[in-house]
Each structure stands twice: as C-alpha cells, then as structure tokens.
Amino acid sequence: MTTPVWYPAEVDTPIDSALLAPLLTSPRLGLVSDFDGTLSPIVMDPDQAQLTAANRASLVALAGQLALVAVITGRGAADAYQRLGIADLLVVGNHGLERWQAGGLVVSTEAARFQPQVQAAAAELEPLLAPGMQIENKGLTLSVHYRQVADLEGTRGAFLPRIQSLAGQHGLAFHEGRRVFELRPPVAQDKGRALTELAAEYNLTGVIFLGDDVTDAAALAAARRLRAENLCYGVGLGVRSEATPPEVLDQADGLLPGVPGVEDFLAWLLRSLRASST
C-alpha cells in the first residue's frame, strides 16, 4: 500500500510517506491531539469553539480501532470533554494537570495546592482588563484572552508586565500563547510530559500528536524524542495557520494546512488503518 504525501502549496514542511508508513503497522498506535486550532477552528470567543463534524466522525471511528485516542488541551478537562462529546476519549486538561477519565475529574494534588493563589490572581486581574479582554478561569489555571481587542500589539505590550508581575507575586508560572496569557501552578508539567506519560501508561508502540500553538511545541518535541530514543514511534504534526508560532515550525515533523488539513489527515488515517487490516 502506498502512503500519500501532503504537499499543500502554502506548507514548506511536507509530510513524507516514509515517516507515516510505520504508524500503520504499529501494534499499539495512539492518536493524541490538541483541541483549539486543531480539532476546532480558532474563534474570537473561546466559549464558541466547537469540534468539526468531520473530526468528530473520525475520532469516534478511530477510538474503536486504536489503543488510545486522547486530547491534551489547555482547557479544563471537563470543559473539553463536554465540547468533544465522545465517551471513549481520554481528555487531559490544563496542559496535563488534570484528566477527565472514567466519568470523573482527576486532578494533580500538587497543582491543586495552588488554587487559592490562582483565584486570588483572578480577582486582581479582573479590574485590569481592557475592553475586549476576557478571563477564562479553569480552576487550576487562568487564561487571559485578548483576541477581540482593538489594538492587539498595544494591548499585549501594556498588559504583559502587569500579568508577569502578578504571577510573581502569587508564586505562579507565566506562559504566553497566541493572543493569550496564562497563569499556572509552578509544577513541572506541560503537554510534552503529558504525551510521554500517556505513551508509557498505554504501552504505545506508535503515537501521533497534532497541535498548532506554542504550548503544543513541547508535545511535538516529545513525539520526536520518543522516536529518537526508540521508546515509541512518535510523529508530531503541526497545524499551519496565518500565525503559526515559530516553535511549532521548529518542532513539527510536518505540517497540515489548518483544521481542514486535520480533517483530511484523520480521514486518511482511518481509511489506511482499515485497508492495512484487511
């Protein structure tokens, strides 16, 4: 069977068939994906984000064939699980600090100790917000979105030192993504560590990670590292957009052209796995 190769005109890192082919014969293959900007288009209001119908259909089908289908997201695990609406999916939320698993929420005890500091920071941030800014309070972490402000760069420049100072005052870690600032507990956890843990926990022989933002770069790098160290055949695919962070371009093994490219890839993966099993 010949594995197709993606050569979208706007993508400068094509996905080689030689890279993808071993995935199709991996005895315990896992698929792990980011949510926003990968399975769901980026929207101005994060509360309006929805899984596309094509991605939903592919994920449901793949969940019945693979050793693991999971989502690792910066969203709260319960919120992401509700948006996905697929019972068989494992959802790792807050960048690996919690899981929605077996019908309930499992939270990192180390991270939970910082909830009072996170909530205190949320209360102090609220009066500092400019028009168009929005706090997403995820319990263990905070995200401050500014995609809807009139002056994106001016808002970032003015708000950045304030939120960094606030993070320091409360002993929290500061992170930045595309048009979003984040405050998290100072716990050694990110999407890369979460992906590595899942590969070991589920005894995966192969794993695919899909992601589009700065926080996904750690998981893209982890997929490469798993492959290089012969621990698991990991492949990390970035999702290209008009504002793809350089970290994604640096760490991805290849790029898919936006959420439609993810839809095409998941449909191809499903067809190819079915074909290889006959």
The catalytic residue positions are 34
> Of 66, 100, 76, whose CA–CA distance to 274 is shortest?
66
152-169 vs 115-125: helix crossing angle, rounded to 10 = 140
| Look-up of token digits 């900007």 | 37
CA distance 122 to 118: 6
Look at residue 2 and give its three-state secondary structure. Answer: coil
Task: Decide if 206 contacts 30 (C-beta within 8 A).
Answer: yes
Measured CA to CA in angstroms, residue 252 lies from 169, 225, 246 at distances of 35, 12, 10
CA distance 190 to 216: 9
